[in-house]
Amino acid sequence: MLRVQASPACNLNCSYCYIPASVRRQTSVMSMQVLETLLRRLVDEDLLEDRLAISWHGAEPLVVGVAWYEEALEQIAEVLGGTAVQVSQVFQTNGVLIDDAWCEYFARTGAHVGVSLDGAAAQNAARVNWGGRPAHGLAMRGVAALNRHAIPWALLAVVTEETMRDPEAFIAFVRDSGCAYLGFKVEETNVAHVSHLAGLGGLERLYADFVLALWRAFPAGGPVRVREFEDYRGLRGGPPAQVIPVTLVPFRNLTVAVNGDFTIFAGELLFRDDDRFVFGNVMDGPLLDCLKTARFQAVAAQMLAGARRCAATCERYVDCGSFYISQKYAETGSFDAGETLACRLEVKTFLSALDGGVRLEAGADSF
């Protein structure tokens, strides 16, 4: 996965956004020189496999306009056109700016589109503009455009306390939305945001009941595929094997900021108001040179220490592999840490709910 920040700007000010407001107020746009240099370094340093997914991410990617991406596609074709690499584009957007012109671009280029929505208006209340006004109506206008143009799209939801307490309302929204794919993440502590879920009484039971309600509502082979349930079936459908998360493997999750700065672990580490986890800049020289730096050595050592801590203390380590490194740092100020709020819910509670509840309800054939 290659994440590229076309611009740090965002037209919304969601209350749980992990990117600092000081970053999201910036309006710079990535130059084609930076994009071209990035792509050429990937080729020259043999960092590409046969498929490359470019995720335009890191605030609101649509703010730079269709014309910027048309030019970006020309750069991609110029640099990678002579290779065997198959390139796909992924847009993760708040949906507000989607119109017929964007839909034409998505359809013509085969881009994958994800829309960040947390449910109907009451459950989507955290998503507001810079004046504090709800953005739900504008986002649904964008969703209507996608559906009108028959463009398959994925819904990515942040699960808040309000969502957990009314799973049926969330399920009804998903079914009526027209999405083809659903992904959900808990409202977590990460970078600039401190979760409101921390300290909530009965949280694990609340989340387990929410997960089981979704499992019953969206079975395999239904009209809406669910990312987390597909991952679960893959995890449980074969022999047990140690998970090696992309967040711990350098360059498996390369994220590049608007100015060419990059990080090589979890992408969230780049979207801060400091350069603490910037490992280099694409304009300064080979990307792989960052592996020789003292910064990389220190961060990698601390991350591995945290992974060893998880392996020694967590019964779910084989299923997770210490995935939540940016959350560890956000909660403790160190990568050498164990359990986080996110892993307690998304790994421990999630797997316990499905490993136990699903088998009891419907038997092993449910997988």
CATH number at residue 61: 3.20.20.70
Report H helices in the chain. 21-24, 32-44, 66-80, 100-109, 136-148, 161-165, 167-177, 203-217, 227-236, 294-313, 317-320, 325-332, 341-343, 350-352, 359-362
pLDDT at 230: 96
pLDDT at 358: 63
pLDDT tens figures, 347-363:
999 999 999 976 545 44
Residue 248 lies in a domain: no
Chain segment 24-70, per-residue pLDDT in tens? 999 999 999 999 999 999 999 999 999 999 999 889 999 999 999 99
Token pair 């006004």 is found at 133
Residue 329 lies in a domain: no
Range of the domain at 226: 2-236
Asked, for residue 74, whether it belongs to a domain, the answer is yes
Give CA 304 to chain center in angstroms. Answer: 22
Residue 290: inside a domain: no
Token couple for 247: 């967040």
Q: What is the token pair recorded at 298? A: 């220190």
pLDDT per residue as tens digits for the range 210-229: 999 999 999 999 999 999 99
Does a structural domain hold residue 209?
Answer: yes
With beta carbons less than 8 A apart as the criterion, state whether 315 and 237 touch: no
* Domains held by the chain: number: 1
- pLDDT-derived band at 367 (thresholds 50, 70, 90) equals very low
Q: What backbone phi and psi angles, to 5 degrees, belong to 219?
A: -70, 165
Residue 267: is its pLDDT beyond 50?
A: yes
Residue 270, in any domain of the structure: no
Question: What pLDDT is attached to residue 366?
Answer: 44
